Amino acid sequence: MASRRRAGRAGGARGPVGTVIRAALGVIAALLPGCAANAVDRAIAARGGPMESSLRQVQATVHRGFPGTWSWEIALRSPDLVRWTVHTFGEEQSYVYDGRRVLLYLGSASMPVDASAEQAFMTQVRWLAVTGLDVLRDAGRVAWEELPVPGLPAGIARGLRVRWLPDGATYSLWFDDRGLLVAAEGDVAMPPIGAGRLRAEFSDFALVGGRMLPRSGRYTLAGTLLVEERIVAWTPDDPGLTEASFAAGPR
C-alpha cells in the first residue's frame, strides 16, 4: 500500500453516466417490496454492488495513543486480504495479511512480527472484512442474523448481528433507510492504545466508481473518541490489488 496508485476522487466517478445508472439500479433492487434478496444482498446492492477490492487513502485526526494528524492507506481484497500502510516522517510502516500470515514492513524491508502484534492486527483484519460487507456472503466464515427493528437506534432502518465463525467474534452493523452502512461495532485491539469495543460512524457518502462510499468516519474505542478520518480518495476494484500483491512487500 506504500505505492502511489492513481485513485478516483472521493467525490467523483469514472464513466459518470454508467456508474450513476449502476448505483441507481442497485438501490432500486434493494428497496423493491417483496425482493427475494436477503439483508446482506440488499446492503451490497444499495452500495452499488460487490467490491472485489478497494483502496482508500485517509487523512485522520488521532485523539489517543499518538495524537495528531496522520495519513494512511488501507487496501482490502475480498474476503480478508488487508494491507495497512501508515505514512511517517521516516520509512512507511505496513502491516499485511496475505491470507495465511501477518507480515510487517518498514519501507520495503521485512520485519519480524511478534505474536501479540499478529493477534491484534487480525482483529483489525476481521473488522475491515466485516465492514466491507462482501465477506458476509461467505457462510464458511461468518453467520449473521437481522436485529429486531423495534430495538434499533434512532435513524437506523435495519441492523445485523454478525459472528466470525473461526473465533466467535461478534459485530453489529447498522444501515440507514437508503440501505447504506452508517455504523458498526465490534471488538478490536489497537496497541499500544488498548483493546475493546470499537464503534464507527460513517457519513458524507458519495458516488465513486459506481459505489456509494463514505468520505468521513468517526471511531470510538471503549466509549472514548479515538479517530476522526477523512477519506480523500477511494479506488473500488483496484486492478493492482491482486492476491499476489498481498504476498510481497509494498512497492
- Of 125, 135, 131, 133, residue with least CA distance to 81: 125
Query: What does the pLDDT look like over 47-91, one tens digit per residue?
Result: 999 999 999 999 999 999 999 999 999 999 999 999 999 998 888
Question: Has residue 104 been placed in a domain?
Answer: no
Question: Has residue 151 been placed in a domain?
Answer: yes
pLDDT of residue 159: 97
- Tell me which of 8 and 166 has the higher pLDDT: 166
Question: Has residue 38 been placed in a domain?
Answer: yes
In the predicted model, what is the mean pLDDT of residues 87-100?
Answer: 92
Cell 467474534, residue?
A: 169
In the predicted model, what is the mean pLDDT of residues 203-214?
Answer: 97
pLDDT of residue 195: 94
**Cell numbers standing for residue 178:** 437508503
Question: Has residue 157 been placed in a domain?
Answer: yes
pLDDT of residue 251: 65
**Which residues touch 164 (CB under 8 Å, ≥6 apart)?**
126, 130, 141, 142, 170, 171
Radius of gyration of the chain (CA): 18
pLDDT of residue 91: 87
| pLDDT at residue 13 is higher than 70 | no
pLDDT of residue 6: 35
Domain count, the chain: 1
- Tell me which of 26 and 80 has the higher pLDDT: 80
Band of the pLDDT at 199, cuts 50, 70, 90? very high
pLDDT of residue 248: 74
Question: Has residue 218 been placed in a domain?
Answer: yes
| pLDDT at residue 177 is higher than 50 | yes
Question: Has residue 195 been placed in a domain?
Answer: yes
State the pTM of this model: 0.84
| pLDDT at residue 191 is higher than 50 | yes
Q: Which domain holds residue 28?
A: 14-70+115-236
Question: Has residue 188 been placed in a domain?
Answer: yes
pLDDT of residue 8: 42
DSSP state for residue 193 in the 8-state scheme? T
- Of 155, 235, 172, 179, residue with least CA distance to 47: 179
Q: Look over the chain and give the mean of its residue pLDDT values, rounded to a whole number.
A: 87
In the predicted model, what is the mean pLDDT of residues 173-189?
Answer: 97
Question: Has residue 212 been placed in a domain?
Answer: yes
CB 52 within 8 A of CB 2: no
| pLDDT at residue 181 is higher than 90 | yes
| pLDDT at residue 3 is higher than 80 | no
DSSP for 26-64, please give it: HHHHHHSTT----HHHHHHHHHTS--SEEEEEEEEEE-S
Q: Where are the beta strands (DSSP E) in the chain?
A: 8-9, 53-62, 68-77, 81-87, 93-97, 102-106, 109-111, 142-146, 158-164, 169-175, 181-190, 194-208, 211-221, 224-236
